[in-house]
Amino acid sequence: MAALAVILALGVWNAFLRVIDEDTAPTGSGTTEAPSAGGTAVTTSTTIPIVVRSTTTTIGVSTTESVDGFPFKDGTCRQTQPRTTEAVTLLRIYYNCGNIIEPSGAEFIYRTVPRTAQRLGATMTELVKGPTDAERALGFGSFFSSDTADAVRGVTISDGRAFVDFNSFEVPEAVTATDQGRQFFVINIAANALQYESVTSVEIRLNGSCEAFSQLIGATGCTVISQSDL
């Protein structure tokens, strides 16, 4: 299969409600964020070669494909913000909404975790747990679920690039069966990293290798999404 070109609708990232990440670990070569629960932090050297895919395309999303219940159920994709205390950190976790391929600033759920400065790592740890049944009933969808709850291996930030590294896990058939499924999956991951102002691009890896992640989803090369692509 040809190298993966991540397809984004123009302007959608500008709709994100930006999170001021004063608690996030500072950027810089070798800066490491570990997941808030479990996993192994990985420090990435700047000498590792990076292949950037910068294709930006305006597309219309087909709603005719249906593989294992995908696209996801339609709904309001709205949730009330919970009350919090100083003992917890409030996170926004972006999931997909129905058959809309790009998460937007209004389509997130709230999760609270024990107080942490590692907000990006905590965000990814919550993301891979997938939406709860109640959240899915509201229209939120994701290929992540309780089966992938331990998928995060580590998160590293270096010079504005977030390296999101996963342990080996099995992706649903719908991810590899259609281009649309691949786009839903990759954009779901990228949306959660790019909500933080210190992150200008995200590279997705599997067991330390960006090529291995691309192979996992039926593509080749490296999977990288950058804010500068828009």
Phi, psi of 92 (to 5 degrees): -110, 125
pLDDT for the residue numbered 228: 65
Asked whether residue 2 is assigned to any structural domain, the reply reads no
Asked whether residue 26 is assigned to any structural domain, the reply reads yes
CA distance 147 to 40: 19
CA distance 153 to 213: 13
Phi, psi of 211 (to 5 degrees): -65, -40
Tell me the average pLDDT across 209-217.
95
Asked whether residue 4 is assigned to any structural domain, the reply reads no
CA distance 57 to 9: 6
Question: How sure is the predictor about 79, in pLDDT bands with cuts at 50, 70 and 90?
Answer: confident
- The identity of residue 163, as a single letter, is F
Tell me the average pLDDT across 64-91.
77
Domain boundaries, position 109 = 12-58+65-229
172: number of Cβ within 10 Å? 18
Asked whether residue 1 is assigned to any structural domain, the reply reads no
Instruction: Give the pairing of strands 223-226 and 201-206.
Output: antiparallel
Q: Give me the chain's average pLDDT, please.
A: 73
Asked whether residue 3 is assigned to any structural domain, the reply reads no
pLDDT for the residue numbered 106: 67
CA distance 58 to 172: 26
Q: How many structural domains is the chain composed of? A: 1
CA distance 112 to 43: 26
Asked whether residue 42 is assigned to any structural domain, the reply reads yes
Q: Which two three-digit tokens encode residue 155?
A: 């998160």
Asked whether residue 50 is assigned to any structural domain, the reply reads yes
| Percentage of the residues of the chain whose pLDDT score is greater than 90 | 44
Tell me the average pLDDT across 191-217.
95
Q: Which two three-digit tokens encode residue 64?
A: 């005719």
In this prediction the pTM is 0.73
Residue 91 C-alpha from the chain's centroid: 13
Asked whether residue 31 is assigned to any structural domain, the reply reads yes
Residue 46 C-alpha from the chain's centroid: 22
Q: Strand (E) positions, 104-218?
A: 108-114, 140-141, 152-158, 161-166, 201-206
Q: In the predicted model, is pLDDT for residue 124 greater than 80? A: yes
195 HSE (CA, 13 A, CB side): 24
